[in-house]
A = this chain, B = another copy of it.
Amino acid sequence: MIALRGVRGLRVEDVAAEAGVSKTLIYYHFRDRAGLVTSALDYVNDRAESYADVAAVGGAPVRELLLSLLATEFQDDTTVRENSAVWGEVRAAATFEDGLRPTLASLTERWLVDVAELIADGQDDGSIPPTVDSRAAAVRLTSLVEGLSGRWLAGLLGTAEARAHVAAALERELAGSPQG
């Protein structure tokens, strides 16, 4: 429902009706509206990790796994698009709802650390130069993915184009740092 209508339009009674349960049951499980949104974000995040795992199978150099991982965010697939919409919504809503920030901060940090660790792994297997600052590159790459996602969801950018930009940015970030 967040993917369809956004966080701000989300009403507990509509979620209850969609699930075919009482409002009381929703409140019993999720405590309040913020708990419901947080759980939705956790769910979406777990679901995204499951398709990211699939992308990461095989003995390819870490650099290629990293590209697969970031490119999985752009797929002509309802689930992927829904996940992206929910994330985008919660990010935008966090500007106005302080209650969403702790969850957003911890999930963003988890993603950042995953990407930074993959870059460090690539430095170990020799597919990524040792001069790359893994944390800083991870911040820029994930922020770029978030920026591209917004345009992709709004129909300003096609799937293939978004993926090509991710590949090009990765190429530039992992070329070895121009100035440390």
A136 to chain B, nearest CB (A): 7
Contact (Cβ within 8 A) B165 A140: yes
Which of B139, B143, B154 is in CB contact (< 8 Å) with A91? Answer: B154
Q: Is the CB of B151 within 8 A of A93?
A: no
Contacts of A155 in B (CB 8 A): 101, 105
| Given A92-B89, A95-B154, residue A143 in contact with residue B165 (CB < 8 A) | yes
Could you tell me the dominant secondary structure of chain A's interface residues? helix
B-side contacts of A179, CB under 8 Å: 168, 171
Q: Decide yes or no whether A172 CB sits under 8 A from chain B.
A: yes
Complex interface: chain B residues within 8 A of A93 (CB): 6, 92
Subset of 12 A-B contacts with CB under 8 Å: A6-B8, A92-B93, A94-B153, A101-B156, A105-B156, A143-B150, A143-B151, A144-B169, A172-B175, A172-B178, A175-B175, A175-B178
Q: Chain A residues in contact with chain B, CB under 8 A?
A: 4-6, 8-9, 85, 88-89, 91-96, 101, 104-105, 108, 136, 139-140, 142-148, 150-151, 153-157, 165, 168-169, 171-173, 175, 178-179
